[in-house]
Structure 1
Amino acid sequence: MAYPNAPEAAPRAGTRSNGLAIASLVCGIVGLLVFAIILGPLAIIFGGVGLSRAKAGAGHRGMAIAGMVLGIIDVVVFAILLAAASKHGGSMYVHFG
């Protein structure tokens, strides 16, 4: 049933959402804490696709760039930890002194 004096719905904004940019940022942040080898490359890929969508007018360009940077940091930190572990025979225990 329609109401005769009901206001009309407001028109939707013209910006489109960029879910891959958001996914890139989330993967980059979570990758700093756990599963860096999986989430780091995903953040880079999602960020690249999100950045191309942002150039096409989808928005969230900054999130896509931040996700890519965090993904690169994830991979670099994982490589450093892997190198440190292999230097110490696979153990991350470091004795100071």
Structure 2
Amino acid sequence: MSYPNYGPGYYGPPLSHPNGATILVLGILSLVVCQILGPFAWSMGNKALQEIDASGQHYENRGQIQAGKICGIISSVMMIATIGGMLLFVAIALMGGAFSSAGY
């Protein structure tokens, strides 16, 4: 008794986006080492996810891309908050210096 050949599965072989590992590494490095990498991971992650959605195929590393994008978003927000805090500190220091020299 032989079984019928149904052909390849519905999805076929699993696909892997070529930038998946790069996006994940950039996202992790942006959190750990250098926050300036965050916007790059965020942007590349958006582009890769749009490509995956447009293809209609199943990609095995979609989770990696999403994780790298989220790390990039978190890092970008932290970078903006850090820069904003430093600017606020400088503005307060300058205002304090201006008031102290004016005799207040």
Per the normalisation by structure 1, the TM-score is: 0.65
More helix by share: 2
Contact 1:17–1:59 (8 Å) recurs in 2: yes
Q: Of the two, which has the highest radius of gyration?
A: 2
Please say if 1:44 is aligned against 2:36: no
Give me the whole-angstrom Cα distance separating, in 2, the residues matched to 1:74 and 1:81. 10
Q: Paired residue for 1:93?
A: none
Give me the whole-angstrom Cα distance separating, in 2, the residues matched to 1:79 and 1:34. 16
Name structure 1 gaps, 5 residues minimum: 1-12, 91-97
Instruction: Find the residue that maps to 1:16 and give its secondary structure.
Output: coil
1:32-58 CA-to-partner distances (Å, cap 9, x unmatched) read: 123312x11111122122213433323
Matches within 5 A, 1:23-42: 23-37=22-36, 39-42=37-40
Shift of 1:89: 2.4
Q: Paired residue for 2:101?
A: none
